[in-house]
C-alpha cells in the first residue's frame, strides 16, 4: 500500500506531500498521522504542500481534518509552502480552510510551531 512518509524532526513531525494524491492516499495519510502523533507524542506537525499543484475541496478538507486531529491529540499543526496560484484558486473556489494555520516556508512554519508549542506549555504549566 502507498504511504506518504512522516518524518520525526526533534519534537515535531514533518509531512511533505510530493505526489498528486488520490483520495484514498489522502485518507491513509490522515490515519498514519494520528497513529504517529500518538506513538511519538510529537508536539507539532508541519505539513509541506509546496509540491502540490492544486488543492481541491477534498484535499482542503483533509488538511482541515489533519489540523483538527492534531489539535485533539495535543499537537499544533501548520501547513506550509502553498503555491500562490493554489492560494488564489482555493479562495475563488470558496474554501475557507478554517482552523488551518499556514506559513510561507518550512523555516517560518518551524518558527511558528515553536512559538505555539511554547505558548501551550506556558498555559498548561503556569509559573506560580
Site for another protein, rule CB under 8 A = 20-24, 53-58, 60-61, 83, 85-86, 88-90, 92-95
For residue 38 the three cell numbers come to 500518538
Residue closer to another protein, measured from CB, 58 or 122? 58
Shortest distance in whole angstroms from residue 96 CB to another protein: 9
What stretch of H or E contains 12?
strand 12-16
Shortest distance in whole angstroms from residue 85 CB to another protein: 4
> CB–CB of 83/50 below 8 Å?
yes
Rounded Cα gap, residues 77 and 37, in angstroms: 11
Shortest distance in whole angstroms from residue 97 CB to another protein: 11
Amino acid at each position: 500500500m502507498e504511504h506518504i512518509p512522516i518524518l520525526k524532526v526533534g519534537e515535531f513531525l514533518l509531512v511533505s506531500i510530493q505526489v498528486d494524491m488520490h483520495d484514498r492516499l489522502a485518507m491513509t495519510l490522515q490515519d498514519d498521522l494520528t497513529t504517529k502523533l500518538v506513538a511519538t507524542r510529537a508536539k507539532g506537525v508541519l505539513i509541506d504542500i509546496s509540491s502540490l499543484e492544486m488543492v481541491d475541496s477534498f484535499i482542503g478538507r483533509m488538511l482541515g481534518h489533519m489540523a483538527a486531529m492534531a489539535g485533539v491529540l495535543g499537537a499544533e499543526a501548520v501547513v506550509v509552502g502553498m503555491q500562490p496560484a493554489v492560494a488564489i484558486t482555493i479562495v475563488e473556489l470558496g474554501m475557507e480552510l478554517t482552523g488551518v494555520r499556514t506559513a510561507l516556508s518550512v523555516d517560518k512554519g518551524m518558527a511558528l510551531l515553536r512559538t505555539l508549542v511554547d505558548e501551550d506549555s506556558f498555559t498548561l504549566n503556569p509559573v506560580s
